[in-house]
Amino acid sequence: MQRSVSSSSLSPSVKMKLVNAGFQFTADLLHLKPLQLSKEASLTQQEALEVLQAVRREGGGGDEAGGGGGGESSSLTALELLQKEEEMKSIVTFSSQLDAALGGGFPVGKTTEICGAPGVGKTQLCLQLAVDVQVPQCFGGVGGQVVYIDTEGSFLLQRVVDIAAAAVRHCSLLVEDDEQRVAMETFTVETILSNMFLVRCHDYVELLAEVHLLPDFLSEHPRVRLLVIDSVAFPFRQHFDDLSQRTRLLNGLAQQLISMATGHGIAVAMTNQMTTRLSGGQSQLVPALGESWGHAPTIRLLLHWAGSRRMAAVFKSPDHKGATVQYQITSEGFRDVGQSEQPPSKRPRTQTVASVASQRDTSC
Amino acid sequence: MDWDQLELNPRIIASVRRVKLKSVREALCVSGPDLQRLTGLSRSDVQQLQTAAATACRRHPPTPAVLLQRGECGLRLSVGCPVLDELLRGGLPAGGITELCGESGVGKTQLALQLCLSVQYPAQHGGLDSAAVRLLPVCNSVCPVGAVYICTEDSFPIRRLQQLILGQSSLRPDIPRDLISRRGFSDHIYVEHAADLDALQVCLSRRVPLLLARRHVRLLVVDSVAALFRSEFQASDWLERSKQLISFSHTLHTLSLEFNTPVLCINQVTDVFSSDDSLGPVSGIVSPALGLAWANQVMVRLMMRRLQGTVARGDQSSARRRLEVAFAPHLARDGRDAAVWREGVLGVDSSDRCYNTQADVITATQMCYNTDRCVITQTDVL
């Protein structure tokens, strides 16, 4: 398949001149000299040279990949996608009911939004996730690092140390064999804190700058498995003169986050605030940032109060129906209600793809 | 920010200048394809431009949280009472807005005044005065840090402040006497009266940043937030009120984070009529004023309320109060009983005598005068 000129990454004015001169495919340009090209397409010498360099670079890459258009994307079958998804583990929290409602935990490779009123526990859940992502693989965790973007200033080290210490205690009660014992040596409060990369952003431009530079950071730190943004709403709810600009910026941010989640294999967790919407004569609590932002995250979790109980409701999820579970915030972090001091059931070890595929074959 | 400071190809800078992109920040607020169309640059050029702009706008790259332990991030401003400090795990955090709400007459202003005095002590006694900072060339004379107190309702309670200053030595027995007597406490409390929102805006945008930058103050108190926003707006102007509230809290938040300074906002309460308020657990009959828009900006919310009964200590007696944590990222939802004395607000501990009615107090003090030793103990009365 030949690549058309209009899809190449040249500047728009140059592309227009080439198309007007009659060049439809980049293959037509390959055999020309710069002088000829500049005469035919009325480009300057410099521009013609750049065009040919760009086209030869892209053309060479395309030929090597079998003539596919574009170079980076290759097609996958649905079975390959399924296998890839099975390999992607979820981040297990210490609340088994919430994990069950989400189908195993917070999924890696997808974006999740946590919304709720102030004080209901969104930051606590984010801090818990930031610690849980580091649980070693032999305990059923992901064993990865985390990038924590704090826009409100609510990342307080006192609390993080509490949650980390409780997680270390929890895991040390579950140690059964040598592999886990060895893993516990590298799972201490110090190492947990050193695997959390903290960024504080003071306004939305800093947040956009940070997200723009994150792909490079993620390539340098391949062990990062979670990105937390607490919160997305806070910097964007300052007074914007042009609300449509805010929507555009949020859409761009959402696209960047989704591409990072799928491209680098990380889970993205974002926090959102609630706002009141007046419809008719009644007011209703809805997530902030507007309707269009609601399409951005793959999974949405709503934390709310029911009397004096804290409830978590999954209200948008592509694979699981909406479920509501109760949780509590203890001194140890985000936990199920009714969890006492006895060590809870042990998490299953990681399953290989082959065993999962064989299970699936026999069941259907 | 100047475009020349970025490390970019001069050709890119020239086309950016030609399009009159006003600042580096704007380059990030426009999407890639839009920039391509505006400037006529190729996609890779635009990517270089945005990466350079992002690097310039970002303050510092992601750093491991373990390095925070060595920095100034665990700073807390002590309240001046060990019982209340234990509730707050050290005191008010130094970045972010702390809100104190309660009914009128419950003791919010008392606590705020006490904090204005507490901030002036050195860090090892719970204040935020740090000798190392004072000797910086920025500060032209060695002066201890103080507080800014913005009054929006009544005039500043200067007589009560003098009373609290006189009582410091009995409130803070842990601090050496000479440290207390040498300080001119009232010299370092800057009082502002802001009668309306414009005056408040001027104060916060000009005078307060100057004081903070020169390290003359390390605490900002606004007493009270609700007064201005509730009185100036009609019920139908709630959108305008929200905008002003958000802009005001954004200013406070920026000041707090930039100068690592605690900000205390005093708020009123409003009655709750319907019980389907899903903003918080069903607790009392009052909830903090200014609604959800303000609650979203607050990091730590403390509530103070009156309880039945009185507390007696020595020859003083006071109505019983309770200071509770409504929400905070690092605190449990808990509370401590407290009382307001001549020397300040103190948490109730085991040595205080608690009574359920006023009548019991009278008999107790009468008995104190009648006998040589006070025979009333806590177990007798309760």
In the structure, what pLDDT confidence band is assigned to residue B32 with cuts at 50, 70 and 90?
confident
Check CB contact under 8 Å for B280 and A252: no
Closest CA to B145 of B188, B91, B192, B209: B188
Check CB contact under 8 Å for B28 and A156: no
Interface of B with A in 141-180 (CB under 8 A): none
Q: Which residues of B touch A308 (CB under 8 A)?
A: 281-283
pLDDT for the residue A150:
94
Residue A199's SS3 state is: strand
pLDDT for the residue B210:
92
Tens-digit pLDDT profile for residues B232-277: 777 777 778 888 898 999 999 999 988 989 999 999 998 877 655 5
In the structure, what pLDDT confidence band is assigned to residue B136 with cuts at 50, 70 and 90?
very low
What gap in Å lies between CA B39 and CA B129, rounded to an integer? 52
Residue B35's SS3 state is: helix
Asked if the model's pLDDT at residue A345 lies above 80, the reply is no
CB-based contact A199:A103 (threshold 8 Å): no
CB-based contact A110:A124 (threshold 8 Å): no
Asked if the model's pLDDT at residue B177 lies above 90, the reply is no
- How confident is the model over A182-203, as a mean pLDDT? 91
> Of residues A81 and B377, which shows the higher confidence score?
A81
Check CB contact under 8 Å for A239 and B282: no
B227 HSE (CA, 13 A, CB side): 17
Whether the CB of B17 is below 8 Å from some CB of chain A: the reply is no
pLDDT for the residue B157:
92
Whether the CB of A244 is below 8 Å from some CB of chain B: the reply is no
Range among A303-317, A340-354, B268-282 rated most confident: A303-317
Q: What is the DSSP letter of B122?
A: B
Whether the CB of B216 is below 8 Å from some CB of chain A: the reply is no
Burial class from Cβ neighbours inside 10 Å (0-12, 13-18, 19+) for residue B129 reads: buried
Residue A76's SS3 state is: coil
Asked if the model's pLDDT at residue B64 lies above 50, the reply is yes
On average, the pLDDT of chain A sits at 83
- How confident is the model over A348-357, as a mean pLDDT? 41
Range among A3-7, A100-104, B37-41, B363-367 rated most confident: A100-104
> Of residues B354 and A187, which shows the higher confidence score?
A187
Residue B344's SS3 state is: strand
pLDDT for the residue B371:
40
Distance of CA B149 to CAs A179, B105, B122, B288, Å?
A: 59, 18, 20, 21
Whether the CB of B46 is below 8 Å from some CB of chain A: the reply is no
Q: Which amino acid is at B194?
A: A
Query: B257: distance to nearest CA of chain A, Å?
Result: 8
> Of residues A301 and A349, which shows the higher confidence score?
A301
Check CB contact under 8 Å for B65 and A160: yes
Q: Which amino acid is at A212?
A: H
Start-to-end C-alpha separation, chain A? 39
User: B326 phi and psi, to 5 degrees?
Assistant: -80, -50
Mutation for A interface: B43, B258, B330, most A CBs within 10 A: B330
Check CB contact under 8 Å for A197 and B65: yes
Residue A226's SS3 state is: strand
The percent of residues in chain B predicted with pLDDT above 90, rounded, is 35
Mutation for B interface: A43, A154, A220, A330, most B CBs within 10 A: A154
In sequence order, which residues have a C-beta less than 8 Å from that of residue B249 and are 6 or more positions away?
B97, B294, B297, B298
Region for residue A104 given its phi and psi (left: phi exceeds 0; alpha: psi -120 to 50; beta: otherwise): left
Whether the CB of B57 is below 8 Å from some CB of chain A: the reply is yes
* Residue A229, beta-bridge partner list: A149, A270
What's the residue count for chain A? 364
Check CB contact under 8 Å for A305 and B40: no
In the structure, what pLDDT confidence band is assigned to residue B290 with cuts at 50, 70 and 90?
confident
pLDDT for the residue A28:
76
pLDDT for the residue A339:
58
Asked if the model's pLDDT at residue A291 lies above 60, the reply is yes
What gap in Å lies between CA B100 and CA B325, rounded to an integer? 9
Mutation for B interface: A152, A204, A232, A324, most B CBs within 10 A: A152
Q: Which residues of B touch A147 (CB under 8 A)?
A: 62
pLDDT for the residue B159:
93
Range among A6-15, B147-156, B267-276 rated most confident: B147-156
pLDDT for the residue B300:
95
On average, the pLDDT of chain B sits at 82
Q: What is the DSSP letter of B129?
A: B
pLDDT for the residue B241:
84
- How confident is the model over B3-11, as a mean pLDDT? 78
What gap in Å lies between CA A322 and CA A299, rounded to an integer? 10
In the structure, what pLDDT confidence band is assigned to residue B143 with cuts at 50, 70 and 90?
low
Distance of CA B228 to CAs A14, A239, B197, B208, Å?
A: 58, 19, 7, 18
Interface of A with B in 4-43 (CB under 8 A): 9-14
* Residue A335, beta-bridge partner list: A328
Closest residue of A to B258, CA-based? A202
Looking at chain B, the number of H-run helices and the number of E-run strands are 17, 15
Asked if the model's pLDDT at residue A75 lies above 60, the reply is yes
Asked if the model's pLDDT at residue B220 lies above 60, the reply is yes
Q: What is the DSSP letter of B342?
A: T
Whether the CB of A152 is below 8 Å from some CB of chain B: the reply is yes
Mutation for A interface: B26, B66, B294, B303, most A CBs within 10 A: B66
Closest CA to B245 of B235, B266, B264, B230: B230
Asked if the model's pLDDT at residue A361 lies above 50, the reply is no
Give the max Cα distance, chain B: 95
CB-based contact B330:B358 (threshold 8 Å): no
User: B318 phi and psi, to 5 degrees?
Assistant: -145, 150
Asked if the model's pLDDT at residue A357 lies above 50, the reply is no
Whether the CB of A151 is below 8 Å from some CB of chain B: the reply is no
Check CB contact under 8 Å for B68 and A237: no
Can you read off the two tokens belonging to residue A219? Answer: 């390539």
- How confident is the model over B318-331, as a mean pLDDT? 92
Query: B345: distance to nearest CA of chain A, Å?
Result: 26
Whether the CB of B93 is below 8 Å from some CB of chain A: the reply is yes
Tens-digit pLDDT profile for residues A118-177: 999 999 999 999 999 999 988 888 899 999 999 998 999 999 999 999 999 999 998 888
Can you read off the two tokens belonging to residue A337? Answer: 């209600």
- How confident is the model over B150-179, as a mean pLDDT? 89
Tens-digit pLDDT profile for residues A239-256: 777 888 899 999 999 999
Buried b (16+ CB within 10 A) or exposed e, A122-155: bbbbbbbbbbbbbbbebbbbbbbbbbbbbbbbbb
In the structure, what pLDDT confidence band is assigned to residue A1 with cuts at 50, 70 and 90?
low
Q: Is the pTM of this model over 0.95?
A: no
Tens-digit pLDDT profile for residues A254-264: 999 999 999 99
Check CB contact under 8 Å for B51 and A123: no
Check CB contact under 8 Å for B329 and A213: no
Neighbour order of strands in the sheet with A299-306: A333-336, A324-330, A309-316, A299-306, A111-116, A267-272, A224-230, A145-150, A196-200, B63-64
Buried b (16+ CB within 10 A) or exposed e, B166-204: ebbeebbeebeeeebeebebeebbbbbebeebeebeebb
In angstroms, what is the C-alpha Rg of chain A? 25
Asked if the model's pLDDT at residue B375 lies above 50, the reply is no
What gap in Å lies between CA B85 and CA B80, rounded to an integer? 7
CA A274 from chain centre, in angstroms, equals 21
